[in-house]
Chain A
Amino acid sequence: MQTNEGTTAASEGRELLTFTLGSEEYGIDILKVQEIRGYDAVTTIANAPDFIKGVINLRGIIVPIVDLRIKFHLGKVEYDQFTVVIILNIAHRVVGIVVDGVSDVITLAADQLKPAPEFSSTLGTQYITGLGTIDDRMIIVVDIERLMTSSDMELVEAIAA
């Protein structure tokens, strides 16, 4: 089903939610986004890695929050009323990510997406679907599902264990 969505989206161009981390702009599949909310009280998890901020109560569901800024050493890590959490719905899980800011929803046509060159980036190239260009902006398109379920994120038991 997901591949179907992918192909239809690719032919008509895919909708991406873009956010900023430091000076870079990232795009993720908008269908994976459940909602966007402010950052509020997080309950820390003992002995968890520092980028896992803890868990929040999202209308009765316990949702872990990952700060991508800490994970990828990008941007200024501070929490105020402008801090944004993107709640993602991936692999039947609900996970929140903290980013510097949400900028836009864009549609990227297939020809606007270029394969990512082989370089060592903070975000492993295996998680990057490609680079998109809109006007003179460059957007790094991330396979967010793959990233969040990877063992690096320490979010999922099976891989982490």
Chain B
Amino acid sequence: MSIDMSQFYQVFFEESAEHLANMESLLLALDLDAPDPDQLNAIFRAAHSIKGGSGTFGFTDMTEVTHVLETLLDRIRKNEIAITSEMVDAFLLAGDVLRGLLEAHQNGSLADEAASLAIREKLQKLTAASIGAGNTKPSDVPAPTSKEPEVPAAANGQYVYQIRFVKNRTNFKKKEQLDNLLQALRDIGTISNQKIESNSVSLTLISSTSEEDLREAFMFFIKPEQLTLTVQDNPSVTNKSKTDDELGYGFFVDPENLKSDVENAQGYGFFVELENQPQPAASGQILQPEEIPQRRATDKAPTAATVAAETSIRVSVEKVDQMINLVGELVITQAMLAETVSGMDQVLYERLINGLAQLDRNTRDLQESVMSVRMMPINFVFSRFPRVVRDLASKLEKKVQLKTVGEGTELDKGLIEKISDPLTHLVRNSLDHGIELPEERIAKGKDPQGTITLRAAHQGGNIVIEVEDDGAGLNREKILAKAREKGIPFNDNISDADVWLMIFAPGFSTAEIVTDVSGRGVGMDVVKRNIDSIAGRVEITSRPGQGCTVTIRLPLTLAILDGLSIAVGEQTYIVPLSFISESLQPGATDIKNVSGQGQVVLVRGEYVPMIALHQVFNIKPKVTRPEEGILVLLEAEGKKVALFVDELVGQHQVVIKSLETNYRKVAGMSGATIMGDGRVAMIMDVPALVKLAQQ
């Protein structure tokens, strides 16, 4: 009976990616001085789950990397060795390698063998190094379950091991592998009596390493049953270990042994933790009772994860979008019914009207909850930055801490995907150009450690995301000089805000040195373009010497819009509410003609250019004199314009429909929507209108 495993691949890929992301964020959050055991366990579990999954699906390259990773993690978790920042770096690197392997499997492309080999060696070295160091610390390795007498530790902490193992084509394909093993042994002790025969190797090792650790060191090279390991001064233990090996499994389920289960006919090739480990008696025995359940608990971890997974389901985005569309239709139908009913006799059709009122509430709730399916916390984006900042800061030799505020702020999934690149760019930019080197900061009387703050919040119908740094801030003179050099025209008394926006011009970079991080001047314009494409706006505020803040304003969702409907002649248009600052009825004297062409209107001492919508759109209006109609004051991209319309109709939440699906892009319109009466209304593209007014 064979099951087609490939159908589960996608789930494995997604889950592994999640585990990796989880592992990374945990690693970054880890306090090296006092690591939280829960966090360590969580990291271990993540690695373990990936290993289990990759083993099941036969992605051996991933299994191998996670195996080494897990071995080291396990020791840290059990407090055998202290975690160092070097290890965290190695773990992060291992995460990257795993991600690479995962992608390679996913795309069917070639994996980077060299990288995975390098990280394995690095981790092994760290493990080996820690094995040496490990013994000097009190060890709480699982204690024997049998009442075998403890082996007294030699006075100098050294053991004499007789080691003999099988050497054949399968376990040592290359000579280097044997050399590596021997080198690893040499690293932890002294080798003597080394005899390499055609199919076996025997040697005597004097080392302070415990037998368990030694066996694990061999695990990378040979199967447990191919190894005979005896401690010379205690022959009785040797006998015992042999019997246990024959049994094939023991009391402790050791995740490290998953690898051998393929060969082992008895399924799990768990072998017994050898009883004769050097046990600094007192501490080891006290710990023993808790230690056993703890190990059991981790072994059950995959089960716990499965339970957690069942509370959520994976649904394709198309299905969700289809649902959103259908609910949108439902809302429209409901509105149509409501309008029909509004003309009916309230008393005669009371029940119908009541029923419809209830339908109205229900559809609205339904719409809200369906929309919320697409909403995700912005943490999905923010969570990648600790790593970015950490890596970059060490590369640039800067000290930077990252603060995130409002990670729980939710926004549309589509936006999440599109905002992540621009944000990364902004953060990198802040780090590279904003934050100064520690010495420079000290000279300026600032904390040598710079701070980058990522902040997200809801503000009205918008999401506001800020990237703030406490670095040097933008340099007005430098930017203007660069603008002059680039031939960008500007006014001499240009406002600061406009100067800052110049950095978004293509090819604009004031960085003195082009680094591989940034400074090539491709990037900020891409940032701007990306944000524009999702109807967002960017603002920069900068305080010289104190830092710089980039603010991005995004609509909550791309599918629904709060709009004001306005009427001109027979037509109804929707103006996005976010652009409207106010509506007013002007006095006849407030309207002025400018050189016989355009018209301006005086609004509280400020002249604002006026656009008559009926002229722009060539429609016959009901009123032609602005003082008889209404002016809607619009603001986009920092420019103001007054839109002259016949009347305001009302405020609606409208579902945005593309005009391009069946027609094409219409100048001055950003889309269309269906109104309550079933008619189509156009949604105005306010930034385009404002631009139009400027011409």
Task: Give 16 new A-B contacts, CB below 8 A, not counting A46-B682, A62-B661, A62-B674.
Answer: A41-B679, A43-B572, A43-B680, A46-B616, A46-B617, A46-B668, A57-B674, A60-B328, A62-B659, A62-B662, A62-B672, A62-B680, A93-B661, A93-B662, A154-B664, A157-B660
- Cβ–Cβ < 8 Å partners of A154 in chain B: 664
- Cβ–Cβ < 8 Å partners of A44 in chain B: 571, 619
Among B329, B618, B665, B678, the residue within 8 A (CB) of A157 is B665
Q: Given the known inter-chain contacts A43-B681, A55-B680, A57-B679, please indicate yes or no for A160 contacting B664, CB distance below 8 A.
A: yes
Interface flags, B324-339, vs A, CB<8A=1, else 0: 0100110010000000
- Cβ–Cβ < 8 Å partners of A48 in chain B: 666
Interface assignment of A9: CB less than 8 Å from any CB of chain B: no
The answer to whether A60 and B329 have CB atoms under 8 Å apart is yes
Interface flags, A43-63, vs B, CB<8A=1, else 0: 111111000001111011111
Tell me the nearest residue of chain B to A45, going by C-beta.
B666
Tell me the nearest residue of chain A to B678, going by C-beta.
A57
Which residues of chain A have a CB within 8 Å of any CB of chain B? 41, 43-48, 54-57, 59-64, 93-95, 154-157, 160
Among B572, B618, B662, the residue within 8 A (CB) of A46 is B618
Task: Give the distance to chain B from A33, nearest Cβ to Cβ, in Å.
Answer: 15
| Complexed CA–CA distance, A60 and B619 (Å) | 26
Tell me the nearest residue of chain B to A44, going by C-beta.
B571
Task: Give the distance to chain A from B571, nearest Cβ to Cβ, in Å.
Answer: 6
| Complexed CA–CA distance, A95 and B680 (Å) | 15
| Complexed CA–CA distance, A45 and B618 (Å) | 10
Task: Give the distance to chain B from A46, nearest Cβ to Cβ, in Å.
Answer: 3
- Cβ–Cβ < 8 Å partners of B667 in chain A: 46-47
The answer to whether B664 and A46 have CB atoms under 8 Å apart is no
Interface assignment of B206: CB less than 8 Å from any CB of chain A: no
- Cβ–Cβ < 8 Å partners of B520 in chain A: none
Task: Give the distance to chain A from B566, nearest Cβ to Cβ, in Å.
Answer: 14
Interface assignment of B648: CB less than 8 Å from any CB of chain A: no
| Complexed CA–CA distance, A46 and B325 (Å) | 26
Interface flags, B667-687, vs A, CB<8A=1, else 0: 111001010001111100000
- Cβ–Cβ < 8 Å partners of A54 in chain B: 680
The answer to whether B571 and A94 have CB atoms under 8 Å apart is no
Among B328, B571, B616, the residue within 8 A (CB) of A43 is B571
| Complexed CA–CA distance, A45 and B683 (Å) | 11
Interface residues of B in 606-641 (CB under 8 A from A): 616-619
- Cβ–Cβ < 8 Å partners of B682 in chain A: 43, 45-46
Q: What are 27 A-B interface contacts by the 8 Å CB criterion?
A: A41-B679, A43-B571, A43-B572, A43-B681, A44-B571, A45-B682, A46-B616, A46-B619, A46-B682, A47-B617, A47-B667, A48-B666, A55-B680, A57-B674, A57-B678, A59-B329, A60-B657, A61-B657, A61-B661, A61-B662, A62-B672, A62-B680, A64-B663, A93-B662, A95-B662, A155-B664, A157-B665
- Cβ–Cβ < 8 Å partners of B571 in chain A: 43-44
Tell me the nearest residue of chain A to B663, going by C-beta.
A64
Which residues of chain B have a CB within 8 Å of any CB of chain A? 325, 328-329, 332, 571-572, 616-619, 657-669, 672, 674, 678-682
| Complexed CA–CA distance, A47 and B665 (Å) | 12
Task: Give the distance to chain A from B421, nearest Cβ to Cβ, in Å.
Answer: 26
Task: Give the distance to chain B from A62, nearest Cβ to Cβ, in Å.
Answer: 5
| Complexed CA–CA distance, A127 and B4 (Å) | 52
| Complexed CA–CA distance, A75 and B328 (Å) | 39
Tell me the nearest residue of chain B to A43, going by C-beta.
B680
- Cβ–Cβ < 8 Å partners of A46 in chain B: 616-619, 666-669, 682
- In this complex, the member of A43, A48, A59, A155 whose beta carbon has the largest number of chain B beta carbons within 10 angstroms is A43
- Cβ–Cβ < 8 Å partners of B664 in chain A: 154-157, 160
- Cβ–Cβ < 8 Å partners of A160 in chain B: 664
The answer to whether B657 and A62 have CB atoms under 8 Å apart is yes
- In this complex, the member of B658, B664, B674 whose beta carbon has the largest number of chain A beta carbons within 10 angstroms is B664
- Cβ–Cβ < 8 Å partners of A55 in chain B: 659, 663, 672, 680
| Complexed CA–CA distance, A93 and B617 (Å) | 26
| Complexed CA–CA distance, A160 and B325 (Å) | 29
| Complexed CA–CA distance, A56 and B669 (Å) | 16
Tell me the nearest residue of chain A to B570, going by C-beta.
A44
| Complexed CA–CA distance, A156 and B667 (Å) | 14
Task: Give the distance to chain A from B337, nearest Cβ to Cβ, in Å.
Answer: 15
| Complexed CA–CA distance, A48 and B681 (Å) | 15
Tell me the nearest residue of chain B to A156, going by C-beta.
B664
Tell me the nearest residue of chain B to A65, going by C-beta.
B663
- Cβ–Cβ < 8 Å partners of B329 in chain A: 59-60
Tell me the nearest residue of chain A to B664, going by C-beta.
A157
The answer to whether A94 and B662 have CB atoms under 8 Å apart is yes
| Complexed CA–CA distance, A11 and B343 (Å) | 57
Task: Give the distance to chain A from B94, nearest Cβ to Cβ, in Å.
Answer: 47
Among B617, B619, B663, B678, the residue within 8 A (CB) of A62 is B663
| Complexed CA–CA distance, A59 and B680 (Å) | 11
Among A56, A93, A155, A156, the residue within 8 A (CB) of B680 is A56
Tell me the nearest residue of chain A to B668, going by C-beta.
A46
- Cβ–Cβ < 8 Å partners of A62 in chain B: 657-659, 661-663, 672, 674, 680
- Cβ–Cβ < 8 Å partners of A60 in chain B: 325, 328-329, 332, 657, 674
Task: Give the distance to chain B from A88, nearest Cβ to Cβ, in Å.
Answer: 10
- Cβ–Cβ < 8 Å partners of A47 in chain B: 617-618, 666-668
Task: Give the distance to chain A from B275, nearest Cβ to Cβ, in Å.
Answer: 73
| Complexed CA–CA distance, A43 and B572 (Å) | 8
| Complexed CA–CA distance, A56 and B659 (Å) | 11
Closest 3 pairs between A and B when the two form their complex, measured CB to CB:
A46-B617, A157-B664, A43-B680
| Complexed CA–CA distance, A40 and B664 (Å) | 21
| Complexed CA–CA distance, A45 and B663 (Å) | 11
Task: Give the distance to chain B from A68, nearest Cβ to Cβ, in Å.
Answer: 16
